[in-house]
Chain A
Amino acid sequence: MQCPSCHFENMPTIVNCGRCGANLQLATMDIDVNPPRATERSQSFRRLMPQFTRTWYTVSDSVRHFCRSVFGEWQVESIEPGPLLVRSIIPGWPQLYSGQIFRGRLFLGGYLALLCAGLVMFGTSWGNLLLGLAVGCHISSILDVVLNGERELGPRIRRIVVTMCGVMLLIYIPGYMFIQRVAAPYYISALMAPFEAGDVLLVDRYFTPDPGDVVLYNIPEVQFPLRPGMVMRLQGPRVDRILAGPNQHVSYENEVLKVDGQVCAWRPLNRWKPIGDFKVTLGYNQFLILPSTEINIPHTELLKTAIVGRGRIEGHVYFRNQPFSRFGFVD
Chain B
Amino acid sequence: MNRFRKLEIETSSDAVAHDHSVAPKEDSQLWMNRADADRRNGQYESALRFYSRALELQKDIVKAWVGQVQMLVMLGEYPEADIWSRKALELFPQDGDLMASRAQSLCRRGHVKAAYSSVDGAMSQPGNSGYRWTVRGELLLAGKQSTDRHCFDKALQIDDDWLVATEIALIYLDYNQPSNAQNRARVGVERAPDSPYAWYVVGLCQSKLGLHDQARRSFNTCLELSPGHRGAEEKLQALRSGGSLWKRFGSLWRK
Q: Which residues of A contact B (CB under 8 A)?
A: 4-6, 19-24, 26-27, 29, 31, 33-38, 43, 46-47, 50, 53-55, 57-58, 61
Say whether B109 faces chain A, with CB atoms less than 8 Å apart: yes
Interface CB pairs A-B, < 8 A, 5: A20-B93, A26-B59, A35-B52, A35-B81, A57-B109
Q: Which of B61, B109, B127 contacts A4, CB < 8 Å?
A: B61
B88 to A, closest residue via Cβ: A35
| Residue B226 at the chain A interface, CB threshold 8 Å | no
Identify the closest chain B residue to A31 (Cβ).
B59
Asked if residues A22 and B91 are in contact (CB atoms below 8 Å), the reply is: yes
Which residues on the A side are within 8 Å of B125 (C-beta)?
A: 20
Say whether B48 faces chain A, with CB atoms less than 8 Å apart. Answer: yes
Determine the residue in chain A with the shortest Cβ distance to B49: A34
Q: Are B94 and A43 in contact (CB under 8 A)?
A: no
Chain A residues within 8 Å of B81, by CB: 35
B18 within 8 A of A: no
Q: How far is the CB of B116 from chain A (nearest CB, A)?
A: 16
- 8 A-B pairs besides A61-B109, A61-B111 with CB distance below 8 A are A4-B62, A6-B94, A23-B90, A34-B52, A35-B52, A46-B76, A47-B76, A54-B110
For B58, list chain A residues within 8 Å (CB). Answer: 27
Contact A36 B95 (CB under 8 A): no
CB contact list, B71-98 vs A, under 8 A:
72, 75-81, 83-84, 90-95
Which residues of B have CB within 8 Å of A26? 59-60, 91
> Chain A residues near B190 (CB, 8 Å)?
none
Chain B residues near A (Cβ < 8 Å): 48, 52, 55-56, 58-62, 68-69, 72, 75-81, 83-84, 90-95, 108-111, 125-127, 174
| A55 vs B110: C-alpha distance when bound (angstroms) | 7
- Residues of chain B contacted by A46 (CB below 8 angstroms): 76-77
The answer on a CB contact under 8 Å between B111 and A5 is: no
Q: Please determine whether B59 and A20 come into contact, CB atoms closer than 8 angstroms.
A: no
Closest to B24 in A: A27
Given contacts A4-B61, A29-B59, A33-B59, contact A43 B110 (CB under 8 A): no
Q: How far is the CA of A55 from the CA of B68 in the complex (A)?
A: 24
Using A26-B60, A43-B76 as known contacts, say yes or no to A35 and B94 having CB atoms under 8 A apart.
Answer: no
Contacts of B127 in A (CB 8 A): 6
Given contacts A38-B80, A47-B76, A57-B78, contact A33 B93 (CB under 8 A): no
The complex places the Cα of A61 from the Cα of B110 at a distance, in Å, of 10
Q: In the complex, how many angstroms separate the beta carbon of B188 from the nearest chain A beta carbon?
A: 22
Q: Which A residues are CB-close (under 8 A) to B60?
A: 4, 22, 24, 26-27
Chain A residues positioned under 8 Å from B111 (CB to CB) = 58, 61
Nearest Cβ distance between residue B233 and chain A, in whole angstroms? 19
Bound Cα distance from A31 to B93, whole angstroms: 16
